[in-house]
Amino acid sequence: MTLGLLFSTTFVVLNSSEPLALDSLSEVRILQKSTALENNINKLKTKSGTGIEMFYDPVRDEAGSTNGEPYNQADREWVETCLILYDLYRQLGGEKLNNRILFQQKEDLFLIALENTQSAWHETPDLALIDFFQKLLNQSVVLSPMVFNSDPTKTVSPAKLNLQSRISSLVNPLHLPNKLAFGEVVTLMLPNSDIAITAPQLRIRDYRSDLEGLSATITPAEVSKPGRQFVYGFSAKRKFRPVSKQIVTITDYSNNRRSTYGVSNKNPKRREYLHKGLTNRIKNSGGAKRFKILLPSSTHLHIRSEGPTDLIGFLTDSKGKVISIDDDSGLGYNFALQAKLTSGNYVLTVKHCCAGTGPFKLKIDKKLIN
């Protein structure tokens, strides 16, 4: 799937749900810019930027390096490619942004983000651009209702489902299934393995052995940087060579929460306490929602999700140790977690399995353990 096909699909969805009334000239311009975007991406894959942070101010129509540092041709071409994407978003009817857009490219890593918002590094320009395009659609008052369904009780049209699945599959392709930001955890299965060994950028929080192999819970190390890392499984039956391998992509810097791309944490969001009938929404691709759970006494806890998207639930204790994980035990790709817990504080993390977005509802049942 290419970016050009993604834009053509987006145009079909928008035009079928609420006609945009674009004239033939506008349609031609959209096609031309889609072609230019594809051409620029192919050139970028053979060049390397300096890693200097660049910016574009939509209000003042100004661009350059954030701190006045020198940049090279690859840095400039990355900015120009991203601005073609922004121009396409505007052609489709999206509102002008008030925040500056920030760009970085170095080695095999690409980043595009709105200033003072969370984002992530990607290993190809395609992934970075598609991730940003989805964020543009999400924050748009005009385009978001046409593309994404905000009410879990309403039926989503086949065209919208098609677009959402295409975006999800592009943002998180099969060859990069595990993405981790600072503070997040992922549990990996290493078949036929007795022990797990990770790269220095990763840390093993916990692991469990069974007849099929090893289940290891992984998190970014205290000091790590974006990029692809490996987790290897070794067995006593084979010396010197791993019997299994998993790939993990770290999406941000863990030793500097602001990083170099303008992420602000001056007003971090507080975790909401979990309550019955809670409704929420994952707005950003690869994002997560976390909820506090306070249990005054020993409890048998049962949490189910409801919604149109494929959700995963992670239940952890106050120290971050994973207690239970579930993906599809509920109805329609929703999760259903069950755990017998002692009194204390716990955290429920809700994520989309394929870096997608969408609304969800949580149902909670509690039974005291005598």
250-292 residue pLDDT tens: 776 544 433 333 333 333 344 466 666 678 887 766 677 888 8
Residue 286 has what pLDDT? Answer: 64
Residue 157 has what pLDDT? Answer: 59
Q: Is residue 103 part of a domain?
A: yes
Residue 150 has what pLDDT? Answer: 45
Confidence of residue 249 (pLDDT cuts 50, 70, 90): confident
Checking if the pLDDT of 345 tops 90, the result is: no
Question: Which pair of structure tokens corresponds to residue 276?
Answer: 């019955």
Residue 53 contacts residue 203 (beta carbons within 8 Å): no
For residues 207-224, average pLDDT: 78
The reply to whether 157 and 18 lie within a common domain is: yes
How high does pLDDT run on average in the chain? 73
Half-sphere exposure of 117 (CA within 13 A, CB side): 21
Checking if the pLDDT of 175 tops 70, the result is: no
Checking if the pLDDT of 43 tops 80, the result is: no
Residue 84 has what pLDDT? Answer: 84
**Phi, psi angle pair for 196, to nearest 5°:** -115, 140
Domain count, the chain: 3
The reply to whether 75 and 199 lie within a common domain is: no
Tell me: the pLDDT tens digits for 31-41? Answer: 566 666 667 77
For residues 17-22, average pLDDT: 45
The reply to whether 18 and 91 lie within a common domain is: yes
Checking if the pLDDT of 173 tops 80, the result is: no
Confidence of residue 100 (pLDDT cuts 50, 70, 90): very high
Q: Is residue 340 part of a domain?
A: yes
For residues 212-238, average pLDDT: 79
Q: Which of 141, 171, 201 is the last residue of a domain?
A: 171
In the sheet that 62-65 helps form, which strands lie side by side, from edge to edge? Answer: 62-65, 54-57, 101-106, 109-114
Per-residue burial over 49-83, b if 16 or more Cβ lie within 10 Å, else e, is bbebbbbbebeeeebebbeeeebeebbbbbbebbb
For residues 62-88, average pLDDT: 88
Left if phi > 0, otherwise alpha if psi is -120 to 50, otherwise beta: which for 185?
Answer: beta
**pTM of the predicted model as reported, rounded to 2 decimal places:** 0.44
Tell me: the pLDDT tens digits for 139-160? Answer: 878 766 655 544 445 555 555 5
Q: Is residue 78 part of a domain?
A: yes
The reply to whether 182 and 160 lie within a common domain is: no
The reply to whether 279 and 236 lie within a common domain is: no
The reply to whether 102 and 182 lie within a common domain is: no
More confident residue, 259 or 130: 130
Q: Is residue 262 part of a domain?
A: no
End-to-end CA distance of the chain: 55
Percent of the chain whose predicted confidence (pLDDT) is above 70: 68
The reply to whether 102 and 18 lie within a common domain is: yes
Residue 183 contacts residue 170 (beta carbons within 8 Å): no
Confidence of residue 192 (pLDDT cuts 50, 70, 90): confident
The reply to whether 101 and 167 lie within a common domain is: yes
Helix/strand/coil (H, E, C) string of the chain?
CCHHHHHHHHHHHHHHHCCCCCCHHHHHHHHHHHHHHHHHHHHHCCCCCECCCEEEECCCCEEEECCCCCCCHHHHHHHHHHHHHHHHHHHCCCCCCCCCEEEEEECCEEEEEECCCCCCCECCHHHHHHHHHHHHHHHCCCCHHHHCCCCCCCCCCHHHHHHHHHHHHHHCCCCCCEEECCCCCEEEEEECCCEEEECCCEEEEEEEEECCEEEEEEEECCCCCCEEEEEEEECCCCCCCCCEEEEEEECCCCCCCCCCCCCCCCCCCCCEECCCCEEEEECCCCCEEEEEEEECCCEEEEEEEECCCCEEEEEEECCCCEEEEECCCCCCCCCEEEEEECCEEEEEEEEECCCCCEEEEEEEEEEECC
More confident residue, 9 or 329: 329
CA distance linking residue 323 with residue 178, whole number of Å: 19
Lowest-confidence pick of 14-18, 37-41, 91-95: 14-18
| Domain span holding position 217 | 178-250
Q: Is residue 188 part of a domain?
A: yes
Checking if the pLDDT of 111 tops 50, the result is: yes
Checking if the pLDDT of 99 tops 70, the result is: yes
Residue 127 has what pLDDT? Answer: 77
Confidence of residue 312 (pLDDT cuts 50, 70, 90): confident
Tell me: the pLDDT tens digits for 160-171? Answer: 555 555 444 444
Checking if the pLDDT of 76 tops 60, the result is: yes
Residue 267 has what pLDDT? Answer: 37
Checking if the pLDDT of 303 tops 70, the result is: yes
Cβ neighbours of 48 (radius 10 Å):
14
Q: Is residue 76 part of a domain?
A: yes
